[in-house]
Amino acid sequence: MSLLLARGLFLLGALAPQEGRPAEGREGADPAPAATTGQDPLDAAPAPKPQLESLYEGALVGAEDGQEFAETPGYRHLLETLSRYGEDELRQKAKRHLDVAQALGDPDAWRGEIVRVHALIAGQMAVRLARPLDEHVDAYRAFLTEADGSEGVVVDFLGEPPALELQDDVVEVEGVFFRTVRYENKKGLFVEAPYLIARGIRRLDTENLPRSTAFDSPWPKLAIGAAVLVFVVRIFLTMRKKPSPPAASSAARALRARARLPLQPDPPTHKP
């Protein structure tokens, strides 16, 4: 009996993990779960994204989508920060164009990204700040849309905008996606749009834009050239088949020459 007990104790000691080394067959095993506080994890507020805390000194933390315009501390700080960027610097940092549908569907994925927008300027206004930012007492707000009035975007900035023709000029802007904003449009309808904070806006130089059309392919050009060539050949062949006019006779030439001479009066008659 004592022999069986001793063997049992020996086996238990061999199978038990020694202190300071993992159990055999469990290298890399998961650590023991941390002690719980008794709070349901679903009830706890999600921690802000680490990148948002580091971007623009935390100006994006706490941005609430779908809310009306509000001069929050984060909004003011972002306005002031973007106003100190150089125009060329923002152009280089804007890696892609804003996708309005995607930004409305998943604003968290776009928040804090510097994007580019080309759109028609539908309206603009000056907004008096609650307190000046440096020498600025006003911010400027631009409402941008597509030509058909769809896909609206709102942009706020401190730099004074150029003289623009509403509903006519196309503008270009690079700005930080801040959040989505809900506001009442001119028709009295509440709409939601991406809300950007920028340095300023400028009229788009459409003359220097790269154009990509069907005529960029060589095939349409070749087809047009072939059609022109066929047209020219047909004209040439038609002219060759046309009979030459017969040579004018000497009598005809005389009649033409006579017709061009001035009329002479009849000689006077003498009576005997």
pLDDT the model gives residue 128: 97
pLDDT the model gives residue 253: 56
pLDDT the model gives residue 178: 98
pLDDT the model gives residue 52: 84
Spatial separation of the C-alpha atoms in residues 241 and 178, rounded to whole Å:
75
Residue 167 CA, distance from chain mean position: 18
**Long-range CB pairs of 64-69, under 8 A, 24+ apart, other chains included:** 64/179, 65/107, 65/179, 65/180, 66/180, 66/181, 66/182, 66/192, 67/179, 67/181, 67/182, 68/181, 68/182, 68/183, 69/127, 69/181, 69/183
pTM: 0.60
Place of tokens 């921690």: 47
Per-residue tokens: 177: 């996606």
Element (H, E) at 11: helix 2-15
Per-residue pLDDT of the chain (272 residues; tens, 9 = 90+): 444 444 444 444 444 444 433 333 334 344 444 444 444 443 444 455 457 888 999 999 999 999 999 999 999 999 999 999 998 999 999 989 999 999 999 999 999 999 999 999 999 999 999 999 999 999 999 999 999 989 999 999 999 999 999 999 999 999 999 999 999 998 899 999 999 999 999 999 776 655 543 334 444 444 445 554 655 556 556 656 555 545 544 544 554 455 454 544 445 554 44
Q: Do 162 and 200 touch, CB atoms closer than 8 A?
A: no
**Long-range CB pairs of 107-112, under 8 A, 24+ apart, other chains included:** 107/65, 107/177, 107/179, 107/180, 107/194, 108/49, 110/177, 110/194, 111/52, 111/60, 111/63, 111/177, 111/178, 111/179, 112/51, 112/52, 112/55, 112/56, 112/60, 112/176, 112/177
Those residues whose C-beta lies under 8 Å from the C-beta of residue 126, and which sit 6 or more positions away, are 138, 139, 140, 141
Domains, the chain, with CATH or none = 50-206 (2.40.50.140)
Per-residue tokens: 64: 């609430």
pLDDT the model gives residue 157: 98
